[in-house]
Structure 1
Amino acid sequence: MQSREDGGDNWQAVAGQLFPQGHGIVRQGAVLSGSARLNGQPVAVVGTCGHAAIGVEVALAQARAVLDAMRDHPGRPIILLVDTQGQRLRRRDEMLGINRYMAHLGKCIDLARRRGHKVVALVYGQALSGGFVTSGLMANACYALPDAAIRVMALPAMSRITRVPLERLQQLATGHPVFAPGPENYLRMGGLAAIWEGSAMHIALTMALHDCPRLDFRAAQGAQRGGRKLAAAIIDAIVEGRHVQAP
């Protein structure tokens, strides 16, 4: 598998392991789309490759693929393959309103879920910032390979923006998964349902679709795993109109 430092594009190897019965996934630039067969049943596939930077064109192309799946194949499971370095940092994209394009992608995935499509995401490369939030984290459940590189932001960049000393952030990262990179920390926070280790990927995907949750249990899982201790309690309090006392 691709290491966290490897910039190579291994989507074809991943697709071959996920869909040993064959697939028709096509790459157009940094965007993946098409269909595949899993246990004899068709699934739609949408994703990115090559550590894609999500600009307006990439966001629109992914959204189009999700909308096409809803129109042409109602109820068909959708598999999201995630490999992104996050939002593309260009003036052109900012001036065009990249935040709205990315929000559009997230809304399309949410609509697919509401219309009965099981949406399962797999981080097989990188997953950073908004590119991850509006794709993998919008799925019913998100999984990752052990060597996936997942983080909100690199600590040096976080230090420059927040003006918190890097040494302090590194210290916080040792005990708080919110600050720390890696799939293990996102598993603790509930962002990932599981890390696929030591099992055939097509079997793991079959089980993920079978167990696909209809409700969002991530906050509760984060509390159970000790990664997000207050999110679930705050959500429940808002729903019930109660006040939450911070510890």
Structure 2
Amino acid sequence: MTLAEILAGLFPQGHSVTVRDGLVTGGGAFANGTLHIIGVDGDTPLGVDGALVLSRAVLDAVRAGDRAPILVVVDSDSQRMSRRDELLGLNECLAHLAKALLLADRSGHPTIGLIYGHSAAGAFIATALATRILAALPGANPSVMDLPSVAKVTKLPLDKLQEMAKSTPVFAPGIDNMVATGAVHVVLDPTKPLDGQIRDLITNLQPGDDRDRLGEERGGRPVARGISAAVIAQAGRG
């Protein structure tokens, strides 16, 4: 689905969402209230300027005090790899965006991610993975790091990593692997009304982050939940 199709499905009566330089902001009437929208479209890399624009939109929604849900739509490249962005503190700006989304969620704005295209690396982490629940549409292609980049970092041969990825979802790219690890909670059905599916996700949101539980149940991260529980238990004894 394209962004235009997503917005038409979410807001049959119209909306005020705009896309400028690949950055999505705005909202519309939704389920007897309002749905705020931010995001990245068109496989656009997310740099310092974009991260600050999206952070401002999130913080403006929090200041409005309506506690309306925030949907983060994602079809991005990775973070913008430029000298300017790095010198201006891209890592801090991406972290600021992620923290703004966490603040919004804890301030009563349910945060839902919707990945419908590509996303990778810091841009994926600061948008889609910073929401309380992440949904995907068929055809989405997320990755924390693509395998050629993993090969450069780990110094392992690419063909070896490709073979490992067949049985190790935790670092492998692609929607199926993200579902297996619990990073993606659910894949939506594009043949059904999108507004109803998003409304159901919001209605059934549970407190906290249950990605480790989902990863354990789905077999993609079999030990993460136990390790985190042990760390928390040890910290409580300190």
Q: Is TM more than 0.5 here?
A: yes
Counterpart for residue 231 of structure 1: 224
Counterpart for residue 62 of structure 1: 54
| Superposed displacement of residue 98, structure 1 | 0.3
- 1:21-46 CA distance string (max 9 Å, x none): 32110112111111112233211111
Aligned pair 1:24/2:24, yes or no? no
TM-score normalised to the size of structure 2?
A: 0.94
Counterpart for residue 33 of structure 2: 41
Question: Please, which of 158, 176, 181 is the counterpart of residue 184 of structure 1?
Answer: 176
Of residues 87-96 and 193-202 in structure 1, the stretch that sits farther from structure 2 once superposed is 193-202
- 1:53-85 CA distance string (max 9 Å, x none): 011000000000000101124311111111111
Return the alpha-carbon distance in structure 1 between the equivalents of residues 9 and 109 of structure 2: 22
Question: Please, which of 115, 137, 148 is the counterpart of residue 129 of structure 2?
Answer: 137
Confirm or deny: 8 A CA contact 2:124 2:143 kept in the other structure. no
Of residues 199-208 and 108-117 in structure 1, the stretch that sits farther from structure 2 once superposed is 199-208
The aligned amino acid for 1:226 is G
Question: Percent identity between the aligned chains?
Answer: 35
The aligned amino acid for 1:189 is T
Confirm or deny: 8 A CA contact 1:21 1:38 kept in the other structure. no
Question: Please, which of 194, 199, 203 is the counterpart of residue 196 of structure 2?
Answer: 203
Return the alpha-carbon distance in structure 2 between the equivalents of residues 200 and 159 of structure 1: 41
Q: CA RMSD in A?
A: 1.3
Question: Please, which of 196, 207, 214 is the counterpart of residue 207 of structure 2?
Answer: 214
The aligned amino acid for 1:93 is D
Segments of structure 1 that go 5 or more residues without pairing to the other structure are: 2-9, 243-247
| Superposed displacement of residue 119, structure 1 | 0.7
Return the alpha-carbon distance in structure 1 between the equivalents of residues 230 and 149 of structure 2: 34
Aligned residue runs from structure 1 range 104-183, under 5 A = 104-183=96-175
Moved over 3 A (4+): none
The aligned amino acid for 1:89 is M
Return the alpha-carbon distance in structure 2 between the equivalents of residues 222 and 125 of structure 1: 22
Return the alpha-carbon distance in structure 2 between the equivalents of residues 75 and 32 of structure 1: 20
Segments of structure 2 that go 5 or more residues without pairing to the other structure are: none
The aligned amino acid for 2:51 is A
SS across alignment from 1:58: helix
Aligned positions, number: 234
TM-score normalised to the size of structure 1?
A: 0.91
Of residues 228-237 and 152-161 in structure 1, the stretch that sits farther from structure 2 once superposed is 152-161
